[in-house]
Amino acid sequence: AQKVTQAQTEISVVEKEDVTLDCVYETRDTTYYLFWYKQPPSGELVFLIRRNSFDEQNEISGRYSWNFQKSTSSFNFTITASQVVDSAVYFCALREAAGNKLTFGGGTRVLVKP
């Protein structure tokens, strides 16, 4: 069975600090897809990134970066130089190639204070 664990329920930082969100997953499939979504206070989930299990290259997009390590089944997300607009709940998710559903972690609430 697939499972996603986000151990940090809430992180509070001061603007311009870096923040790393942890995500650990479990799956028996060799082919799977990992995602990060952002849920701002408005409620609508926004897609941030998709990574497939064959591609362990780390990725950087502006102030966002992702570190995928199959050896530890982790897909961590770092926000560099955080801004107040980064305040949101961030969800990590997993989808097995053989299945239909996207399994979400419990989410990490990030609060960036000015």
Partner 1 sequence: GAGVSQSPSNKVTEKGKDVELRCDPISGHTALYWYRQSLGQGLEFLIYFQGNSAPDKSGLPSDRFSAERTGGSVSTLTIQRTQQEDSAVYLCASSLEGANGELFFGEGSRLTVL
Residues making contact with partner 1 (CB under 8 A): 33, 35, 37, 42-47, 50, 52, 91, 95-107
Q: Are 45 and 104 in contact (CB under 8 A)?
A: no
**Closest approach of partner 1 to the CB of residue 16, in Å:** 28
Q: Which is nearer to partner 1, 80 or 99 (CB)?
A: 99
Handedness of CA 48, 50, 51, 57 (dihedral sign): negative
Nearer to partner 1 by C-beta: 10 or 18?
10
Shorter beta-carbon distance to partner 1: residue 57 or 114 = 57
Query: For residues 18 and 52, which CB has a smaller minimum distance to partner 1 in the complex?
Result: 52
User: Read out DSSP for 26-81?
Assistant: E-S-SSEEEEEEEE-TT---EEEEEEETT----EEETTEEEEEEGGGTEEEEEESS
Closest distance of CB 83 from partner 1, Å: 23
The residue written with tokens 């609060």 in the block is 111
What's the closest the beta carbon of residue 92 comes to partner 1, in angstroms?
10
